[in-house]
Structure 1
Amino acid sequence: MASRPTIADIARELQISKAAVSYALNGQPGVGEQTRQRVLDVARDLGWQPSASARALGGFHTKVIGLALARPVQTVAIESFFIRFLVGVETALTKRDWSLLLRIIGDHPDQEVEVYRKWWGEGRIDGVILVDERHRDPRIAAVDAIGLPAVLCGGPRRDTSMPCLWTDQAADAATLVEYLAGLGHRRIAHIAGPAEFAHERSRQRGMQRAAARCDVQLLSMAVAYDAASAVAATHSVMSDPTTAPTAIVYANDVNAVAGERALDGSGFSVPQDVSVISWDDSPLTEMVATPITALARETEAYGEQAATVLLDRIAGVDHGRVRVTPSRMVIRESTGPARSRR
């Protein structure tokens, strides 16, 4: 097996001192910007990674954690989830006098690992929070291979040593379906988010199982997290009066608000004709004509817990798989008894 590239290899390649290489890799003064960039380029080409054990033994910490969001900028700007999550992260970091390095890289999940690799190689961070777990997520093995301390907001997974903060999506799905079934709804539409996300797949499976237990017909479709997609999906599921659902569950608050407005614009009354539920609660669900019933999560606490688990991981304490606080139903005016249709 090939030996791991070292600082000496980089120095030999560039014919400069090991001290100069060290200064460049750790973002310290002592080398010019051109030399620093040459060192970083060669380090990347050779596949060099910093030694986590060497850092730990040396007691070196930047006291900075990283988070790259591979979501479209418009989504991050509209969805309150990320803002509330980041507030929680900052709360935990402030308590320990740490900082957050944040980058929004747009809809380019393939670039996320390279961002972390660069930050870690430059000595700019001590760990990362991974959000938006994807189906067959390549980041898990890649971050493990780099040796970068991390916490996954997802899972639970058994194929990684990193801690996982997981939400019981099946339990949330059961809460939604059982509530609607109790109101007499027997045809429910689930307008889910993109199937590339692991949590959306878990939610769809949970909805299907809960619907089968409650003798409910379930129509499920996946759309983007934006208003236009939610409107198109709403028109689609309501297009045939003989099969139209009496209740619709939307993936998030933005989709739910857009869906409710689409229903109103098409002549359907909420909740008299159709009940509406959002899988994510925020002030947005109350800023509409008919406030929307939603599953509420302690998002700020979730962000604080994620940062705390990561800081503990960096300090050598492993919390393993952690189940987050269960969601709770907040009932508002958008849900009511099912109206029978002939």
Structure 2
Amino acid sequence: MSRVTIGGLADQLGLSKASVSYALNGQPGVSDETRRRVLELATSLGWHPSSSARALSRSRTDAIGIVLRRDPELLGSEPYYMSLLAGVESVLAETGKSLLLRMVGASTRDEVATYRRWSAEGRVDGVMLFDLVDGDERPPLLDELGMAYVVHGANPEVAPGRVLTYDIVHDTQLIVDHLASLGHHRILHIAGPAEFVHEANRREVLDELGARAGIRATHRHNDYSMEAGESAALAELGADAGITAIVTSSDLLALGASAALRSLGRSDVAVVSWDDSLLCRIVSPAITALDRFPEEQGARSTRVLLEVLLGLGPTETLARPSELVVRRTSVAI
């Protein structure tokens, strides 16, 4: 008879591996009915928990940590992260776990120091990483510290089994096809910090797919503030009259670009944001944007981390495909 595994039980019951583990180990996070179904099947198949798994469970703090390199005063103005954190909390609330959140400005040194302190004090069971850079020191540091982690929005090879990754080609193709259908050939790409891997990837793929569609992009890297989007749009539109569309890496950058267009009296320039939010819907004119479902993806990243903590094996998770929401800034030429 083959060995009964948590994964096998989950497949038979149509449940997540984390839910099965909670049920088997008497942890909160599942209903009484779900716990009964899991235990009945496990008993019938002769499943027995390992002593190492029980020991690991007893040593838990029941908290996960997130360190964001963001100014604490600005976090509330970033709808993407607010939605993502809502998704994280929704899963943690179901499982009786808590979130320890720290914001450290732009300092990598302060972020690394936070992980070292958390490890030394035993404050969290694992952490979630964002905004990877080339040669990022955080994954090897966490491996050295023996701290579990997952990476949100990165290539699978960064941390096999511990990544939620977006399909950047799919996302970029949606934008390129849309702008090409509107007749645009010269665009301004207002991006986030150049050192972020996801920004470098967006730039590379936008150039490649744009060239196939006869679109040439000018790239400008900034922080993610509305002020940065406005100043970049004003400068580049003033320097290049041939630009007919603006693509931004965030909703706040898109709001800034739209403000610049209003101040210039320009209604002939299209705007597309890589992130959607309530801000894109209520501003006038409403901004075309990619809905990347941040709340759902925050929840999925959290489930991946919980499965890593439960020792349930590698999990490669591709984020739900983004959808382009077309609004009034989709201006044709």
Q: What TM-score results when the alignment is normalised by the length of structure 1?
A: 0.78
SS of the residue 1:316 aligns to: coil
- Contact preservation (8 Å) 1:178, 1:210: no
SS of the residue 2:255 aligns to: helix
Find the aligned partners of 2:56 and 2:272 in 1 and give their Cα distance.
Answer: 51
Render the CA deviation track for 1:257-291: whole Å, top value 9, x for unaligned: 1111111111211xxx1001111100011222200
Code of the residue aligned with 1:194 in structure 2: it is: P
Find the aligned partners of 1:310 and 1:158 in 2 and give their Cα distance.
Answer: 16
Find the aligned partners of 1:321 and 1:110 in 2 and give their Cα distance.
Answer: 29
Equivalent residue, structure 1, for 2:19:
none
Find the aligned partners of 1:57 and 1:211 in 2 and give their Cα distance.
Answer: 50
1:16-31 equivalent positions in 2, closer than 5 A: none
Render the CA deviation track for 1:99-139: whole Å, top value 9, x for unaligned: 11111111112221221221122122111111122222110
- Contact preservation (8 Å) 2:150, 2:304: yes
Equivalent residue, structure 1, for 2:83:
84
- 2:256 is the counterpart of 1:258: yes
Equivalent residue, structure 1, for 2:68:
69
Report the aligned-residue RMSD.
Answer: 1.8
* CA 244–56 in structure 1, closer or farther in 2 if over 3 Å, else same: farther
Equivalent residue, structure 2, for 1:294:
289
* CA 257–209 in structure 1, closer or farther in 2 if over 3 Å, else same: same
Please, which moves more after superposition, 110-119 or 177-186?
A: 110-119
1:1-342 equivalent positions in 2, closer than 5 A: 56-57=55-56, 59-158=58-157, 160-161=159-160, 163-240=162-239, 243-269=241-267, 273-338=268-333
SS of the residue 1:133 aligns to: coil
Gaps of at least 5 residues in structure 1 are 1-52
Find the aligned partners of 1:120 and 1:180 in 2 and give their Cα distance.
Answer: 48
* CA 232–119 in structure 1, closer or farther in 2 if over 3 Å, else same: same
Code of the residue aligned with 2:332 in structure 1: it is: P
Code of the residue aligned with 1:261 in structure 2: it is: A
- Contact preservation (8 Å) 1:177, 1:210: yes
SS of the residue 1:304 aligns to: helix
Equivalent residue, structure 1, for 2:12:
none
- Contact preservation (8 Å) 2:160, 2:314: no
- Contact preservation (8 Å) 1:170, 1:202: no
Code of the residue aligned with 1:330 in structure 2: it is: V
Find the aligned partners of 1:211 and 1:193 in 2 and give their Cα distance.
Answer: 19
- Contact preservation (8 Å) 1:248, 1:276: yes
Code of the residue aligned with 1:253 in structure 2: it is: D
* CA 220–197 in structure 1, closer or farther in 2 if over 3 Å, else same: same
Q: CA deviation at 1:196?
A: 1.4
Find the aligned partners of 2:132 and 2:316 in 1 and give their Cα distance.
Answer: 15
Render the CA deviation track for 1:160-192: whole Å, top value 9, x for unaligned: 455011111122111101110011111111111
Flag the structure with larger Rg: 1
* CA 229–58 in structure 1, closer or farther in 2 if over 3 Å, else same: closer
SS of the residue 1:290 aligns to: coil
Larger RCO, structure (CA 8 Å, separation 6 or more) = 2
Gaps of at least 5 residues in structure 2 are 1-51
Q: What TM-score results when the alignment is normalised by the length of structure 2?
A: 0.80
Find the aligned partners of 1:231 and 1:170 in 2 and give their Cα distance.
Answer: 27
Find the aligned partners of 1:265 and 1:286 in 2 and give their Cα distance.
Answer: 20
Percent identity between the two aligned chains: 36
